[in-house]
Every structure is written in C-alpha cells, then in structure tokens.
A and B are shown apart, each in its own frame.
Chain A
Amino acid sequence: MERFDARKWDEKKRIGYSRKVLYYFLHPKNVGEIENPSVTAKAGSPACGDMIKLYLKIENDKIVDAKFRSYGCAANIATASVLTEMIKGKTVEEAKKIKFKDIVEELGGLPQIKYHCAVLAAEGLKQALAKWDVIQGRREIDESFVKLILAAVIDPITGESVLRGNKYKGCKIEGRKVKIMLNIPKDSPEAEVFEEQIREAFEGLDVDLEIEFAES
C-alpha cells in the first residue's frame, strides 16, 4: 500500500503538482479502451515522451462514455484522466468549448513546464470531435481537417509536428479519397513511422488514404 497520505501533500514541493494532479495520477479514472468506440484520437509521440489516446462513446450527440490510455509523466496521466471526467455527460458542442486552460483549472493548476500536457489533452479532444463531425457528415474532409489530424503526427527525431519544417507538401481530396503528400524520402526510416502514425490518426474514418513520399 502507499505509505503516502494525500491530505498531507505539500503542494509547493515536487515541482509543484497540485493535490488534485497527484490524486488523478495515483488513482486515474477512466483508464482503458471502449469497445466499439464512436471515435478515437491520438495525440503526442514517444519522441516527446507524452502521448494520449482518447476513446469516446457518443449517443444522440452526447458523450456517454470516455476512456483514455497514456504514455507519459504524472501531468500527462492526470490531464488525460481529468479530461475524460470533464467531458462525460456533455454534448459534443459543449465539449468543443473546452480549452487547455480549463483542464489546468480543473486540476487546480499545473506547473508551467507541464502546460504542454494539458495542451496535448485538449488537442486530442479537438481532433476526436472533428473526426466525429466528419463521421456524422456534418463536416467535409478538407485540407483544414487533414491539417488538424496531421498536427498530432510527430516526427520521432525532432519531436515536432509533421506540419512543421517543410515536411508537408499538400493534399488532394476527391470524395473519400485522401492523398497526403510529404517531403520525406520514401526510403528514409522515418517514412514508415509517419505512415503508421498517419494511418492511426485517420482510424475510424471511412477514407481511402494514400500517403505519397518524395522520391529518394
């Protein structure tokens, strides 16, 4: 058993995790996967050391269940867990209004250096809800949607989004056909990693995905 008593936690210690962050870290709620989820989304990468995957069950435009899995630090686990708590029972439109600051606030604050964890969680949610709109036929798959998805696809070497540093060349969309063009040599080791990440990011969407890499 834990020798630790959360009531005696000194919030000033240990890089300033609040009592609530610690609580969600030690006893995270909604861990796991949902069978037949309405929509999923993944944000982050092993490169930056923070990654979350959200699973949502949506009925009549209301989030009836939310679960997560995470790879990362205490703040990463806590933000993902508290987010699932925050969105359960909310309508899709209500959930869309959640910003990273709301997550920080809900946790009673986060050390500044850990804000990116809340940003990651908020990005994951934004992506999931955009995908849901596409599934519902309320949103077209256009370049802005593709970019929204690609924002969470991370270069394993630099830890930056694939959208940064001239790696993204453009995309062609014709009905359900989505072709993403990247300035990454097709024989390079990262090409495979990007392809896998991009395919996973589009998971659950009824699209015919093609990824074109540059000739080496």
Chain B
Amino acid sequence: MVIYLDNANTTKPDPEVIKVMLEYLKEKYGTPGGEFGHIFDEDAREAIEEAREKIAKEINASPDEIIFVSDETEADNLAIKGIAWAKEKGKVLASKIERKAILNTVKRLRDWGFDTYEVSVDKEGFINLEDLQSNLKGAILFATHLGNFEIGTIQDIKAISEIVHDKGALLYLDANHAFGKVKIDVKKLDVDLMSITAHLIHGPKGIAALYIRDGVKLKPLLDGDVRERGIRPGMINVPAIAGFGKAVELINYDDAKRMAKLRDKLIDLLLSIPNTKLNGPRGDKRLPNNVNVSFGHVEGESILLHCDLRGLVFSTGSACYSQELLPSHVIRALGGSFEDAHGSVRLSLSKWTTEEEIVKAYEIIKDVVEKLREISIYGGKR
C-alpha cells in the first residue's frame, strides 16, 4: 500500500461522493435548462441547488452568493480580474506567498495597466499587516489566503479585512486549503469574495465555488447565457456539483482535530532528524493537515523519488521538481535560502491518514535523507 501524504495537492474522492456522482452520470444526466425544464432538467436543477444550499450553509452565506466554477484557478481569475474590470482602474494587491494562479493573475493585471503590489510576510508566513496597510492607497482589492497551501500558515483574516475595508478596498480570500479543516463563517471573517474547491475535501476534481457577497459587482470572464446568473455562463457540471455537495455534507471537524494531532507527531518525528527545520508556524495557527520541513544538504526531488519508489508520496518546493526550474517562492519569501527551498518537502494529511502511516513515513524519510546525505557534496555531514 502506498502512503499518500499529498492531500494538499489533491485528495481521494470519498466513496459516498462517487456514489452520488454516478447517479448523475448514469441516469440523471440532464442539465438545468430554461424556466420550465423537463424531468431531466429538473432533476439536475434540484441537485445543483441542493449542493449550493449545503455549501452556502457551511460557510454561513446565502445560496444566491455561491457561483460554481471549474476549479480554484478559475475562481482566482474570476474574482481578481472580474473585480478589476468592474472597477476599471486601481491597485490590486496580493501577498508574496499566494498560489501561482493568484500571483500570475495579478501580474497580468499589471500588464494591463493596473497598479499592483506584493505584500511581504514574516518568517512564519504571516502577512505583514503594516506593509499591507501602508500600501493600500488607491487599492480596489487585496487577494490573499486563509491557510497557506505550502506551509499551512493560517492568516488573521479578521484583522486583514478590517484594514482592507478601512481603505475602501475589497478582500478576496482563497480558502481552498483551509475549507473543511477550519470552520469558516464569511460574515465573521467579513470577506467579499472567497473560493473553495471540492477536490481538497474528498470531492471531485473540476468543480469549485466562488462566494460573492451580495452587492459586490464583478464582470464575467466568459460571455454566454444566464447560467450561474451570467457570472459564469456555460455548461453546468452537474455530477461534479452533486459530488461537491456530498463532500461538504461529509465534513467533520473532529477529523481536523485528529489530523492536527498526527501533524504534530509527524513534525516532532521529522525534526528529530538532524539539520531539519520547520517551515511555517506551530499549533492552532497552522492548517491541521500541513507539515513542511527543510532538510539541510539534500535536495527535494531526490528525496521524493526515493520515497515514491518505497511507497510514500508527497511534494517538494525544490526547483528540480518544478517545470520552471524555480525553487519555492513561498520558502524564499519567508527569508529562507535557496537550499531551504530546494530541500523543502510538504507532507499533507487527510482524514484517512493513520498514526501507523505517519510513523512509517518518518522511518522511510529518515533513511532516505541519511542515504542522500552520504552522497551530498557537504561531505556526508549529518
């Protein structure tokens, strides 16, 4: 059996999710149509509206505030470009440690004449609130995350939204990695837009939701019909939406508590390997399923490949593993060296991860790191 610790990349769909989806693939294969649809259309409409209600309830929003999109990248693009186009000009900010989809969307806006700014973070990945505050002049939007995809840092969104709103800007929150693990209330967090995706909570790939607070205006990326209120026209992915709804229904915050315990155990075990450091904070300010450490003197892709061949999978911030051959921008933004980035690995747990797997994963990694350090140019230093 392979030990799968790459759940921040994607998760295994829950069998119950697959069961629901099959129904909408095999029998109820309609799509919501006009005002008076036929029986197939109506079954489909019922399914997506039921899912929309479940999702809205989970984050304390109204169903009208939920738009289905294909994934988190589309949600990022729709939220950021949609707001920018609606406002026509102004400044768009993001933190330095966002996912590439957010950073590159903001870069695109800069090419198109918008002012942009990347807000710095401290060494644990917390957004520098002073840097944010002092760069909000003329701002229309700040795009950031609730829980960091790579190092698990959970941001103080209440403080951030207060600062952002005080300057009259909107806040877009990428909650994809926190959703289902951290209880989210859009009213309490006071966010204007927020994205959550299905595939990180044991739902299907190819579906995500964008929360748009009632009254917030944005322009669509695609022009088409009036489906999803014209904000996201196009074919409705009914089976995926039904699966998403089921995945949300299956969220259980006791799983998060259990994951947090295993996370802490894995962190402690990995830090017992000499010359290893933790990236991101400890405790409640860290996503319950995220572990990220840097091993000195060794490179991530080598660690990954060795572990993969021994039945353990996860991911790395090493340049060698990326198609662009660039080391992790997150680790670098924390002030980490190139070596810290190349030697960083992210292990992400799921509700199904067991203590036995955690211990086994540690044993494999320890052995691999020791083996690679014997080859290392740093003279086999431990």
Contacts and interface: CB of A to CB of B under 8 A. Distances in A.
Interface string A38-69: 00001000111111110000000000000001
B160 interface: no
Interface stretch (B45-53, B196-204, B371-379): B371-379
Contacts of B318: 49, 73
Contact of A72 (B299, B374, B379, B380): B299
B319 A48 contact: yes
Nearest to B318: A49
A69 B309 contact: no
Contacts of A48: 319, 325, 338
Contacts of B305: 14, 17, 25, 73-74
A28 interface: yes
B374 A31 contact: yes
Interface string B308-342: 11110000001111010101000000000111001
B302 A69 contact: no
Nearest to A52: B377
B297 interface: yes
A49 B319 contact: yes
A156 interface: yes
Contacts of B299: 49-50, 71-73, 76
A33 B374 CA distance: 11
A32 B375 CA distance: 7
A4 B302 contact: no
Nearest to A53: B377
Interface residues of B, number: 29
Interface string B293-308: 0000111011001101
A26 interface: yes
A130 B238 CA distance: 66
Nearest to A47: B338
Given A71-B377, A72-B299, A2 B309 contact: yes
Interface of A: 2-4, 14, 17, 25-26, 28, 31-33, 42, 46-53, 69-77, 113, 156, 159
13 contacts: A32-B380, A33-B379, A42-B377, A46-B342, A48-B319, A49-B320, A71-B298, A71-B299, A71-B378, A72-B299, A73-B318, A73-B320, A73-B321
Interface centre among A14, A28, A52, A74 (most CB of B within 10 A): A74
Interface centre among B320, B338, B339 (most CB of A within 10 A): B320
Given A48-B319, A113-B323, A26 B376 contact: no
Contacts of B301: 73-74
A52 to B, nearest CB: 7
A47 B379 CA distance: 18
A113 B321 CA distance: 10
A75 B318 CA distance: 14
B338 A156 contact: yes
Interface in B358-382: 374-380
B338 A71 contact: no
A86 B323 CA distance: 29
Contact of B320 (A3, A28, A50, A52): A50
Nearest to A9: B309
A26 B305 CA distance: 9
B343 to A, nearest CB: 9
B270 to A, nearest CB: 20
Interface centre among B297, B309, B321, B337 (most CB of A within 10 A): B309
A3 B297 contact: no
Given A4-B310, A70-B377, A72-B320, 13 more contacts: A2-B310, A3-B311, A26-B306, A28-B375, A42-B377, A48-B325, A49-B318, A49-B319, A49-B338, A50-B320, A52-B377, A69-B375, A72-B299
